[in-house]
């Protein structure tokens, strides 16, 4: 219920004529009593300007007072003016204006003044000095001085004839001039307030109370006039009470702002707010509460009704809820969600909050309700979408994992294809070299044999024939060595790996025995030692024999004839995972620019090389097959060292 509606309900039951007007003077509401005084039905006044009932002088005066009351937030004032009735006559009326907390001025308590009352307004002035003697004022002075509030006594000329200490202090503080008796009170009032005070004074001279509020500098003063009656029933003097209300006006202005703010919040709020007392009766509610009660219960929410009538629970559940509600007046604030059905059968979800409110009079409870049906539906829909999104994300993750696996497989296949392509390219290159080398190295001995046979046919001595036969044997040995190297190469490439437990000492002794003749020819000492013999080692015997034979044979070919002592040392260290083999010689060494080529197919270091150039190439191929490592270090004139790491296949065996 807003404040304007509250006042409209209130003034319906008043016995005085009351109007509510806006700042512009437009009548917003009038009760039926106004018609008794002025003859206008309320509907005739509503929507029209109240100033239309004044004469020009009083209209201008009233408009100034109204504007002043609104701008300065003056709480109240009273005036007497003449108003025109519906019949066209003029009637003197006493008006009391109350500055309401709404955006309108309650202009009320219209009381018609009879001609007899109007005639008696001058009785105080006509009484002369006999009625207001010095003796009477002296008796009244004691009444003034005993008054706790600032009080003054005025004669018929509005002169001050008595004042108490509070009045002297207030007047001097507000006007910066001392109060003097026998001086009209108008001297201490702002000039703009003189006319209003004269009207107020005349009203009190007829025996009625009056009041006004005016501003003087930074002070706001409330003044009321009270008639003092003589024993003969005549007004003998006017008592004036004055009070500074600056602080009250400030508080009123703050209260106006708070009420206006409350009105704005009420209009803007989408939340139901209801205030109930300990008897569970409604004491206040906002617009949204009225709307929601009509929607859910088909009833009008009114102040004073039992909140219990709006509880949809039944039986024991209802009793428990009401008991819990009563306990909430002295508990902490809490909230809950409840489902409720409206009068059309629609389901609504409400978020209810219960907040206790301390009061000097009695505890109160604020019940707020917010319709969260849309939010719950949206939340439920969002939860369903989230679940769907989670499933989609899982599916996307599975697809991503599958795609990642396929990509990894594809990259592996690409890598394999690349390696196969590179291997094929290498093999094709080697094949080209192989065919060229075969054609060249086989053709050369055959051509040499053909030439020697032709010479033998022409030779007649036996000594010449013997020389040719030696050359033929040399060519045949070269051809046989080449064919053997080619056979070794092709067998190594095609023969599958065959792992067996080996004894390196036996293997090295076999190689030494095979190469004993060239070793003796060049006076070379071949020595070896095997470390870690207690550790079993398994490998491909044929391939390991070929590795040792080819490397040692290569060291024999490049013996340094300039040195007096020729040595080849072999050291084997058997470990659980690998066998480390190191072969060193003190031969001629290999120039740095040729060290990267010694493992190429058909590479020959110089004219001393008698083989096909496949020895170290075959070694490298075997090491690759066994997934081992090979490292060559050489210094010209110092010698060469080759280190091997050959995986121990004992676990495979």
3-state secondary structure 38-61: HCCCHHHHCCCEHHHHECHHHHHH
State residue 454's pLDDT score: 66
Q: How many CB atoms lie within 10 A of CB 145?
A: 14
CB-CB contact of 615 with 602 (8 Å): no
Q: How many CB atoms lie within 10 A of CB 35?
A: 17
Q: Can you read off the two tokens belonging to residue 578?
A: 């690998």
CB-CB contact of 80 with 203 (8 Å): yes
DSSP for residue 303: T
For residue 238, pLDDT beyond 80: yes
State residue 113's pLDDT score: 47
Shared domain for 277 and 334, answered yes or no, is yes
pLDDT in tens, 438-462: 655 665 666 666 666 666 667 656 6
Shared domain for 245 and 275, answered yes or no, is no
pLDDT in tens, 566-578: 999 999 999 999 9
How far apart are the C-alpha atoms of 264 and 256, rounded to whole Å?
12
> Which CATH number is 552's domain given?
3.30.565.10
Task: Give the contacts of 347 (CB within 8 A, at least 6 positions apart).
Answer: 339, 340, 341, 373
278 within a domain of the structure (yes/no) = yes
Shared domain for 507 and 633, answered yes or no, is yes
Q: What percent of the chain has pLDDT over 70?
A: 74
338 within a domain of the structure (yes/no) = yes
506 within a domain of the structure (yes/no) = yes
How far apart are the C-alpha atoms of 413 and 23, rounded to whole Å?
91
Question: pLDDT category, 422, cuts 50, 70, 90?
Answer: confident
DSSP for residue 338: E
State residue 443's pLDDT score: 59
The secondary element (H helix, E strand) that includes residue 614 is: none
- 342, 371, 400 - which closes a domain: 371
Q: How many CB atoms lie within 10 A of CB 162?
A: 22
Q: Which of 48-52, 382-386, 399-403, 441-445 has the lowest mean pLDDT?
A: 441-445
- 418, 453, 469 - which closes a domain: 469
264 within a domain of the structure (yes/no) = no
**Whole-number Cα distances in Å, 353 to 62, 130, 179, 336, 356:** 49, 74, 60, 7, 10
Domain that holds residue 326: 269-371
How far apart are the C-alpha atoms of 80 and 115, rounded to whole Å?
14
Q: What percent of the chain has pLDDT over 90?
A: 23
State residue 24's pLDDT score: 82
For residue 131, pLDDT beyond 50: no
Strands 27-30 and 17-22: antiparallel
Q: Closest by alpha carbon to 279, among 298, 259, 260, 304?
A: 304
Question: pLDDT category, 28, cuts 50, 70, 90?
Answer: confident
pTM as predicted: 0.36
Shared domain for 499 and 643, answered yes or no, is yes
Shared domain for 98 and 143, answered yes or no, is no
Shared domain for 461 and 381, answered yes or no, is yes
For residue 639, pLDDT beyond 70: yes
For residue 635, pLDDT beyond 60: yes
Question: pLDDT category, 357, cuts 50, 70, 90?
Answer: confident
Report the pLDDT averaged over residues 600-622.
Answer: 73
**Residue 630, SS3?**
strand
Shared domain for 499 and 600, answered yes or no, is yes
Going along 85-218, which residue ranges are E strands? 90-99, 104-112, 150-154, 160-163, 210-216
Shared domain for 393 and 359, answered yes or no, is no
State residue 333's pLDDT score: 85
How far apart are the C-alpha atoms of 34 and 638, rounded to whole Å?
136
Q: Can you read off the two tokens belonging to residue 38?
A: 């002025």
For residue 432, pLDDT beyond 80: no
pLDDT in tens, 368-392: 888 888 888 888 888 889 999 999 9
Task: Give the contacts of 17 (CB within 8 A, at least 6 positions apart).
Answer: 30, 31, 33, 34, 36, 37, 38, 108, 109, 110, 111
- 46, 79, 113 - which closes a domain: 113
State residue 128's pLDDT score: 44
481 within a domain of the structure (yes/no) = no
Report the pLDDT averaged over residues 423-430.
Answer: 70
Q: Can you read off the two tokens belonging to residue 46?
A: 């509503």
State residue 309's pLDDT score: 85
Task: Give the contacts of 161 (CB within 8 A, at least 6 positions apart).
Answer: 137, 140, 141, 153, 154, 155, 181, 182, 237
CB-CB contact of 276 with 365 (8 Å): yes
For residue 582, pLDDT beyond 90: yes
Shared domain for 107 and 134, answered yes or no, is no
**Whole-number Cα distances in Å, 509 to 119, 265, 422, 515, 572:** 159, 108, 39, 10, 13
How far apart are the C-alpha atoms of 53 and 27, rounded to whole Å?
12
Cα 646–648–652 angle (5° rounding)?
Answer: 135
CB-CB contact of 19 with 53 (8 Å): no
487 within a domain of the structure (yes/no) = no
State residue 431's pLDDT score: 59
488 within a domain of the structure (yes/no) = no
Question: pLDDT category, 341, cuts 50, 70, 90?
Answer: confident
For residue 300, pLDDT beyond 50: yes
State residue 118's pLDDT score: 47
- Say which residue, 477 or 50, is predicted with more confidence: 50
State residue 634's pLDDT score: 92
Question: pLDDT category, 653, cuts 50, 70, 90?
Answer: low
483 within a domain of the structure (yes/no) = no
Q: Which of 290-299, 477-486, 629-638 has the lowest mean pLDDT?
A: 477-486
How far apart are the C-alpha atoms of 425 and 263, rounded to whole Å?
92
pLDDT in tens, 132-144: 456 667 777 877 8
The secondary element (H helix, E strand) that includes residue 407 is: helix 373-458
Mean pLDDT, rounded, of the chain: 81
Shared domain for 352 and 400, answered yes or no, is no
State residue 645's pLDDT score: 96
Shared domain for 9 and 109, answered yes or no, is yes
> Which CATH number is 335's domain given?
3.30.450.20
How far apart are the C-alpha atoms of 97 and 635, rounded to whole Å?
123
How far apart are the C-alpha atoms of 476 and 32, rounded to whole Å?
149
Phi, psi angle pair for 145, to nearest 5°: -65, -30
- Burial category of 177 from C-beta neighbours within 10 Å (exposed 0-12, middle 13-18, buried 19 and up): exposed
Cα 544–484–516 angle (5° rounding)?
Answer: 60
State residue 491's pLDDT score: 64
Shared domain for 284 and 220, answered yes or no, is no
pLDDT in tens, 503-513: 999 999 999 99
- Say which residue, 579 or 17, is predicted with more confidence: 579
pLDDT in tens, 186-208: 999 999 899 989 988 988 888 78
The domain total for the chain is: 5
State residue 564's pLDDT score: 87
Q: Which of 120-124, 403-407, 448-452 has the lowest mean pLDDT?
A: 120-124
Q: Can you read off the two tokens belonging to residue 236?
A: 């003998």
The secondary element (H helix, E strand) that includes residue 403 is: helix 373-458
Sign of the CA dihedral running 312, 314, 319, 324: negative
State residue 640's pLDDT score: 94
Q: Which of 75-79, 153-157, 514-518 has the lowest mean pLDDT?
A: 75-79
């Amino acid at each position: 219920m807003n404040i304007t509606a509250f006042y409209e309900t209130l003034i319906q039951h008043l016995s005085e004529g009351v109007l509510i007007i806006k700042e512009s003077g437009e009548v917003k509401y009038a009760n039926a009593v106004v018609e008794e005084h002025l003859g206008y039905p309320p509907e005739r006044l509503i929507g029209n300007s109240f100033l239309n009932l004044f004469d020009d002088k009083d209209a201008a005066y009233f408009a100034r007072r109204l504007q002043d009351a609104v701008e300065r937030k003056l709480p109240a004032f009273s005036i007497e003016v003449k108003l025109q009735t519906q019949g066209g006559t003029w009637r003197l009326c006493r008006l009391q204006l109350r500055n309401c907390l709404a955006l309108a001025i309650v202009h009320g308590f219209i009381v018609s003044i009879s001609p007899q009352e109007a005639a008696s307004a001058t009785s105080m002035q006509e009484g002369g000095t006999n009625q207001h003697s010095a003796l009477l004022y002296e008796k009244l002075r004691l009444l003034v001085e005993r008054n706790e509030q600032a009080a003054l006594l005025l004669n018929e000329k509005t002169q001050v004839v008595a004042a108490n200490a509070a009045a002297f202090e207030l007047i001097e503080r507000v006007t910066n001039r001392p109060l003097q008796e026998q001086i009209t009170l108008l001297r201490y009032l702002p000039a703009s307030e003189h006319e209003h005070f004269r009207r107020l004074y005349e009203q009190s001279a007829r025996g009625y109370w009056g009041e006004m509020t005016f501003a003087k500098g930074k002070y706001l003063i409330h003044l009321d006039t009270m008639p003092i009656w003589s024993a003969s029933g005549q007004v003998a003097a006017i008592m004036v009470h004055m009070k500074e209300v600056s602080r009250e006006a400030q508080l009123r202005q703050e209260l106006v702002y708070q009420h206006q703010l409350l009105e704005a919040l009420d209009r803007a709020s989408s939340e139901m707010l209801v205030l109930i007392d300990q008897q569970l009766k409604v004491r206040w509610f906002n617009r949204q509460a009225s709307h929601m009660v009509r929607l859910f219960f088909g009833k009008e929410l009114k102040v004073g009704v039992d909140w219990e009538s709006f509880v949809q629970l039944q039986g024991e559940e209802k009793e428990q809820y009401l008991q819990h509600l009563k306990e909430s007046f002295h508990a902490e604030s809490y909230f809950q969600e409840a489902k409720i059905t409206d009068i059309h059968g629609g389901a609504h979800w409400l978020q209810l909050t219960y907040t206790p409110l301390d009061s000097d009079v009695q505890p109160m409870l604020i019940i707020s309700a917010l319709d969260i049906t849309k939010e719950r539906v949206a939340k439920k829909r969002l939860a369903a979408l989230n679940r769907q999104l989670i499933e989609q994300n899982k599916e996307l993750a599975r697809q991503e994992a599958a795609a990642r696996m396929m990509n990894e497989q594809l990259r592996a296949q690409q890598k394999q294809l690349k390696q196969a392509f590179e291997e094929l390219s290498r093999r094709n290159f080697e094949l080209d070299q192989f065919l060229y080398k075969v054609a060249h190295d086989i053709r050369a001995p055959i051509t040499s044999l053909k030439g020697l046979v032709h010479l033998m046919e022409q030779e007649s001595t036996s000594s010449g024939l013997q020389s040719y036969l030696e050359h033929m044997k040399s060519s045949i040995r070269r051809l046989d060595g080449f064919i053997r190297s080619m056979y070794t190469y092709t067998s190594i490439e095609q023969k599958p790996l065959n792992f067996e437990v080996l004894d390196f000492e036996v293997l090295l002794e076999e190689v030494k025995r095979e190469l004993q003749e060239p070793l003796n020819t060049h006076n070379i000492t071949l020595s070896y030692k095997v470390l870690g013999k207690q550790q079993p080692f398994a490998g491909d015997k044929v391939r390991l024999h070929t590795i040792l034979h080819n490397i040692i044979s290569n060291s024999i070919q490049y013996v340094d004839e300039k040195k007096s002592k020729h040595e080849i040392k072999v050291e084997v260290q058997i470990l659980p995972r690998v066998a480390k083999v190191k072969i060193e010689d003190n031969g001629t060494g290999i120039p740095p620019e040729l060290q990267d080529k010694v493992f190429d197919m058909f590479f020959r270091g110089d004219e001393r090389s008698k083989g096909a150039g496949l020895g170290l190439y075959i070694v490298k191929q075997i090491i690759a097959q066994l997934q081992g490592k090979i490292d060559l270090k050489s210094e010209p004139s110092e010698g060469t060292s080759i280190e091997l790491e050959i995986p121990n296949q004992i676990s495979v065996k």
